[in-house]
């Protein structure tokens, strides 16, 4: 059989066994549900869409005032509802009971209960100006087209010297959230690799497998299968986060423009980061024969990963600082720090290229080192095998 076909079968086995386990499925489902609920909960806590502003009309009013109030409100982004109040009704009580927000009396006096509103006042004033001007023009015998040309407002182009920081901050926050997800995912699936290695070594399944395939095929198949499972889980979580952000209806933020690039970035850097660390996890996992001894062996990869999380925090604060900038170029930390620097707009194209190429090259180096340690320690049981001894054993 083709060696790579054997690798594929080993990867498929790892993917299936891990993917159908109940704890994994339940955890993934709960995470997706919780993330999906964040958007609606955010809307509920913020009060959702603002209530419409109700303007009451009492007495004689200029013609067309109702439609004009609604129109002017739309121009200012405020929903206006107009209610006609009979002169026999006590509109003061209606104001006190919040049945209406303001009352226009005889087209001349605007009454509030306690606190007046500058925006509502501006809408009413503008509406009165328009309908009164229209009535005067109509009395002068002007045609509808002539009246429309007089009423046509002047347009002004609005520009800003600097872009609003709202989307920039949202982009950096999303990138940092992605870095946290990467940190958790790489540790979790890296530990899956190490635990699977120890489990097969402990129950001696690996001896049977190695009678049919070589050690490098076992290693690559294990890393590929668990990594593919990680990609599936990340895609589901990222999709849930994207839908949740859409449901949250975030003001002044283009969710599609921010969310989709961040999701693609997380998946891309997961492949590089996971590949870099998975072979290291497999190597250290192969040096022990019992699950109880595994935690101590895992301190090495965790000690390398943890600074990446801390450096991502530093990049959020100041992406141009020397330490985050240098860290974003190093293979062991680039997957955590570089996405934040890219989102902040501080990463140069050459820096991104160096980070990607360096991470890929570093992963290849770890593949070679990890494979050799894995081969040298995999069949040695009993006490913990030193990395140096495993390295030497592989050469024999």
How do the domains of the chain map onto residue ranges?
A: 3-44+166-395, 53-151
Contacts of 34 (CB under 8 A, 6+ apart): none
Q: Rounded distance, CA 362 to CA 348, Å?
A: 21
Q: In the chain, which residues have pLDDT < 70?
A: 1, 43-51, 142, 144, 146-168, 206-207, 210, 249-259, 378-383, 393-396
Q: How far, in Å, CA of 132 to CA of 154, rounded?
A: 19
**Which alpha helices (DSSP H) does 249-348 contain, by range?**
255-285, 294-297, 299-317, 322-327, 334-344
Three-state secondary-structure class, residue 83 = strand
Cα dihedral sign, 275-276-279-280: negative
Q: What is the pLDDT of residues 102-159, one digit of tens each?
A: 888 888 888 888 777 888 888 888 888 888 887 877 777 767 676 666 666 655 565 5
> Which pair of structure tokens corresponds to residue 321?
């600082």
CB 344 within 8 A of CB 351: no
What is the DSSP-derived secondary structure letter of residue 148?
Answer: H
Query: pTM for this structure?
Result: 0.66
- CATH for the stretch 53-151: 3.40.190
Residue 136 burial class via C-beta count within 10 angstroms: exposed 0-12, middle 13-18, buried 19 and up: exposed
- pLDDT tens across 283-324, in order? 888 787 777 778 877 888 899 899 998 998 898 888 889 999
Helix (H, G, I), strand (E, B) or coil at 162: coil
């Amino acid at each position: 059989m083709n060696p790579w076909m054997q690798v594929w079968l080993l990867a498929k086995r790892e993917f299936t066994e891990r993917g159908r386990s109940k704890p994994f499925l339940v955890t993934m489902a709960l995470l997706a549900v919780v993330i999906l609920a964040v958007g609606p909960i955010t809307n509920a806590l913020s009060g959702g869409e603002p209530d419409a502003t109700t303007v009451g009309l009492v007495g004689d009013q200029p013609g067309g005032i109702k439609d004009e109030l609604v129109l002017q409100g739309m121009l200012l982004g405020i929903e206006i509802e107009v209610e006609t109040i009979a002169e026999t009704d006590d509109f003061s009580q209606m104001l006190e009971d919040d049945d209406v927000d303001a009352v226009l009396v005889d087209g001349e006096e605007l009454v509030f209960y306690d606190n007046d509103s500058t925006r509502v006042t501006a809408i009413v004033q503008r509406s009165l100006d328009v309908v009164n001007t229209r009535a005067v023009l109509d009395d002068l015998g002007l045609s509808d087209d002539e009246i429309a040309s007089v009423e046509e407002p002047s347009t002004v182009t609005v520009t800003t010297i600097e872009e609003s920081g709202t989307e920039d901050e949202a982009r950096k926050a999303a990138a940092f959230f992605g870095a946290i997800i990467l940190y958790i995912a790489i540790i979790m699936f890296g530990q899956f690799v190490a635990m699977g290695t120890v489990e097969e070594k402990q129950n001696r399944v690996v001896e049977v497998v190695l009678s049919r395939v070589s050690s490098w095929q076992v290693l690559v198949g294990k890393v590929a299968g668990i990594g593919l499972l990680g990609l599936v889980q990340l895609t589901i979580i990222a999709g849930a986060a994207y839908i949740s952000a859409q449901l949250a209806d975030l003001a002044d933020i283009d969710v599609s423009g921010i969310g989709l690039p961040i999701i693609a970035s997380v998946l891309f850097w997961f492949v590089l980061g996971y590949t870099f660390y998975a072979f290291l996890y497999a190597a250290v996992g192969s040096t022990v024969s019992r699950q109880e001894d595994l935690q101590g062996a895992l301190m090495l990869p965790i000690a390398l990963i943890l600074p990446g999380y801390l450096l991502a925090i530093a990049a959020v604060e100041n992406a141009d600082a020397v330490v985050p900038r240098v860290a974003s170029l190093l293979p062991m930390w680039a997957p955590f720090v570089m996405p934040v620097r890219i989102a902040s707009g501080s990463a140069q194209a050459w820096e991104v290229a160096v980070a990607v190429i360096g991470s890929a090259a570093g992963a290849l180096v770890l593949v070679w080192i990890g494979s050799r340690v894995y081969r040298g320690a995999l069949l040695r049981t009993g006490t913990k095998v030193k990395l140096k001894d495993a390295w030497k054993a592989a050469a024999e």
